[in-house]
A and B are shown apart, each in its own frame.
Chain A
Amino acid sequence: MIEAQAVVEVALVAAARNGADGCIVLVDESSHADVRFALNTTTTNGVRRDRSVTVIALVATGRGLSPSVGVARRSGVVDVEQMVSAALTDARGAPPAEDAFTLVDGMGAARAGVGAAALAYGRAPVETDLSVLGGVLSGLSSAFRRAAAHEVVLAGFAEYGVSTLYLGSSTGVRLSYAQPTGSVNLVGRSRDGARSAWTGIGAERIGEISFGVLEDELWRRLAWAERSLSLDAGRYEVILPPSGVADLMGSLFFYGMGGQDAEDGRTVFSASGDGGTRTGERVSDVPFTLYSDPFEPGVECLPFVAVGSSDSESSVFDNALPLERVDWIKDGYLAHLRYHRAGAARSGVDVAPYIDNLILRAGDGVGGGVGGTVDEMVARTERGLLLTCLWYIREVDPATALLTGLTRDGVYVIEDGVVVGAANNFRFNESPVDLLARATEVGTSVRALGRELGEYLNRCIMPALRIPDFNMSSVSQAS
């Protein structure tokens, strides 16, 4: 295949030659390896190499009017000329874009904090293969033997990939960024299905994940479940671990943080009746700060905008815009909703594009609580439930951000500071916004993998939360 950088240049030249008034090209080179296992055996394992090319063509529509846009995205070995032609055809048939804005220029982008991405542009894409999962694979063979000896079956998934993005534009942008993403999920179930436990973690450097540590935690939890207790639906004091917090905050991040959606009146952050938003209002007494930051240590991510097609919050016109930290909630107050530049200009608010990580902190771990690990929070619990993770989370009512979902792979009963057994699973109905308002203790924020959304939002740093009255709506017989 020809080099990614050459694809960019060929597309930009073809666009100019065919009369485009602007062009943006994204080439994403990805290299991925994964190992899946179940029933104490490896199952579907693979390696793959992918390239996708996105061409965004702009065409002027008339004096004083916004340009129109056409896009084409192809994977593999592409006919760049044909892609440019298809994008231009669509652009010429399209009305002026609602999200039009001046394209980011290359010099400006390079000065504004993404100089490293400009320097990286000349490099080849990062490659990976199955050898990066060597530690997991060697850990698995002994783990399978240990599990089989104890009438337990292991299932799980380990994956690692690197996506190297090249972004070029007719305004001189040439940026590149290599994003590694890795995760390990490990489930152990007793052969009779009565006991089930999970551990999982995301990491940019997969080799740093200790499979042994994950495995030991799994066995500690399976031992907790040797005594089973039956509980009814109702409101319980709950320690929601970082994985569960990642999933609930991630749901709010995806469904609830759209600025245009809030202005339309369709989210929990819509002001009632007047087309405004609740920005500036207090969300919680605890000084929670929920933010995204491309430079957050340990969860670094793409430091500029890369968008292949526009929607109400992200715009192809913003491609290459340098990203910096955005506080969605700051010290307990709603601070920002997601806007592209055109939307922010229309509404008179700050630009706040999507950033691919999410962090929740409450001061230094204090503020309504005393911080610490989940184990320390358990030790401070007179009577309550320690959850493992959440599953099948769906929005029930966007007006309250009400979510439903299930507890999964371990609901542990705490009495006088120790785990005394495992209870049945529950269906919950809760709003993440209400949980922030009701949390009475906040643990130390740590790297967390949402069981459900970790697939889409790998890079999270979250605390455990103590919720005094978590709504377990009904019992689930699932184990």
Chain B
Amino acid sequence: MPLPADDLAALTDAALATATAGGCTNAELRVERIRSQRVRLRDAAPEGTSDDTEFGMGVRVVVDGAVGFAATVDVSPTEAANMVRSAIETARVTARAGGGRVEMAPEPSHGEVTWTSPFEIDPAVVPLFEKVALLEEWSRRLLADDVVSHVTAEVLSVGEETFLADLNGTRATQRRVRLHPQVEALALSEAGFETMRSLAPPVGRGWEYLTGGGGGWDWDGELARMPEYLAEKLRSPSVDAGTYDLVVDPSNLWLTIHESIGHATELDRAVGYEAAYAGTSFATFDQLGTLAYGSPIMHVTGDRTVEHGLATVAIDSEGVAGQSFDLIRGGVLVGYQLDRSIAASMHLGPSNGCAFADSPLHVPIQRMANVSLAPAGDGGTGGDGPTTDDLIAGVERGLYIVGDKSWSIDMQRYNFQFTGQRFFKIEGGRLAGQVKDVAYQATTTDFWGAMEAVGGSSTYVLGGAFNCGKGQPGQVAPVSHGCPSVLVRGVRVLNAREEAGR
């Protein structure tokens, strides 16, 4: 059910005319419909489904150097005009509390833009019973194995239809579809329990992602191997805490990138706009161009353009074109993620398109682009960079870490701790069985500085998350992170049971 063009034109006229009459220097009207569905099964039986559709409109204005935002679910031209007046009033009231003027970086009109993310089957048209039946069949495959005591299976799917009209003349109509399927098996023993979760990342694709037809994931293979991995984990020894060389799989590393690079290179954070909530950043603005973030083989980009990326758009939530840009080249910090106000306040020219609002009722703020670590080139040989096995072969005593699980990092993005789904000992360059209770802990620049090798494009996977939090009121953004396998030397590994005093 697309947003009706006639209605959008009337809303645009009402909102922008009111903004112009009210002396606004900037105004963006956003009209959005977002449908989110969650289907969850527990031991092959539906536990509960939710099916939410949010429809509303919001406007952000800049008037006399102050920002105001207002939003409503009552979508009509009359309410659009009232909403703009309310946003202007909010800007004026809060301006009286004092503080500096807000400027917006310039952005040209992009005219009429229409864009749709690539998908074959819209998840919204697949009947609920078909979704339940697929998850039930997956669950039964796992439950058929003696080691598996319990299975949870769920799919989150989101369809976004958005319209943006600003005073520059941009009129952007966009549609995005994304999915996150997850299956987790649990096994019990006298010593307790262990779990194993699927590694399939959330993606900007349609329902074909779950049914295998050109969807980019081998579900049959993954489901077939999970019980074996789980059985091995259940009987594996607890890790000896100490220092290890790590080969980190993309299924784990995407989250380390997200936390220690993605958030740290958000300029609003680095400058202090998130000081009370999400935090600041060790990668302060005075170190742009000089900060040694990692080893010289480290190249990181931000983009809102990669195919199937969760943060990919044509036009962002404040009218800026989606684009790709460097954050780290040769291990050195060379760029930040920007929105229009932070780009203007730091005199960096135009925004690089990192604004996003998760709802028509929320104000756009700077949110993460797809932040990705480049794989190794071929070194001029015409072949690919190292495989994961090549990286493992370079380790005498270490761990190979697969899948993400627990994550935590401090408010300046120095100190992090991650766990994973499975951990393989590496002895003499070969895998030597699983260990459990592993958590790795490091300081961001130490970790990336100790990255000795990155895998080739054969190891590259686009991972990501639906649930990145930032801002007050809290907003949730989807984002992808591509990366190869990497080899990092000398990382502190904890034993989680010992940490709990067991």
Contacts and interface: CB of A to CB of B under 8 A. Distances in A.
Given A39-B271, A156-B276, A159-B472, 18 more contacts: A34-B473, A37-B97, A41-B99, A45-B67, A47-B90, A72-B51, A72-B53, A74-B52, A75-B53, A98-B45, A189-B275, A391-B279, A392-B409, A400-B496, A431-B500, A455-B474, A477-B412, A478-B279
A436 interface: no
A42 B193 contact: no
Closest 7 CB pairs of A and B: A41-B99, A76-B73, A310-B48, A93-B129, A478-B412, A46-B69, A309-B50
A429 B128 contact: no
B494 A429 contact: yes
B414 A477 contact: yes
A201 B363 CA distance: 24
Contacts of A446: none
Interface stretch (A283-291, A321-329, A402-410): A402-410
Interface in B268-303: 271-277, 279-280, 282
Contacts of A405: 408
A473 B499 contact: yes
Given A42-B95, A71-B51, A394-B407, A477 B282 contact: yes
Interface string A22-51: 000000000010111111111111111111
26 contacts: A42-B66, A43-B273, A46-B363, A48-B70, A48-B72, A73-B51, A74-B53, A77-B73, A95-B45, A95-B46, A141-B98, A144-B98, A153-B275, A155-B272, A272-B192, A311-B48, A312-B42, A400-B496, A404-B408, A429-B496, A434-B500, A471-B499, A471-B501, A473-B494, A474-B415, A477-B415
A130 B42 contact: no
Interface in A448-479: 455, 471, 473-479
A251 B144 CA distance: 33
A396 interface: yes
A212 B90 CA distance: 23
* Interface secondary structure of B, over-half rule: mixed
Nearest to A308: B50
B215 interface: no
Given A39-B272, A42-B99, A397-B437, A311 B500 contact: no
Nearest to B59: A46
Contacts of B72: 48-49
A41 B98 contact: yes
Interface string A121-164: 00000000010000001101100110000000101110100000
B502 A400 contact: yes
Interface residues of B, number: 93
Interface in B38-67: 38, 40, 42, 45-56, 58, 66-67
B98 A478 contact: no
A72 B502 CA distance: 46
B17 interface: no
A94 B56 contact: no
Given A75-B54, A77-B74, A90-B128, A393 B408 contact: yes
Contact of B53 (A73, A98, A193): A73
B415 A76 contact: no
Contacts of B66: 42
A153 B271 CA distance: 11
Interface string B435-452: 001010101000000000
A402 B71 contact: no
A362 to B, nearest CB: 22
Contacts of B42: 98, 260, 312
Contacts of B3: none
A213 interface: no
Interface in A392-431: 392-397, 399-400, 402, 404-406, 408, 425, 427, 429-431
A257 B215 CA distance: 38
A273 B49 CA distance: 30
Contacts of A270: 193
A38 B274 contact: yes
B151 to A, nearest CB: 10
Given A47-B70, A396-B439, A157 B98 contact: no
B186 A155 contact: no
Interface in B391-413: 406-413
B133 to A, nearest CB: 9
Contacts of B52: 52, 73-75
A186 interface: yes
A253 B109 CA distance: 50
B347 interface: no
Contacts of B492: 474
A264 interface: yes
B353 interface: no
Contacts of A334: none
B167 interface: no
Nearest to B54: A75
A358 interface: no
Most buried by B among A76, A77, A98, A272: A76
Interface string A69-96: 0111111110000000010011001110
B276 A404 contact: no
B320 interface: no
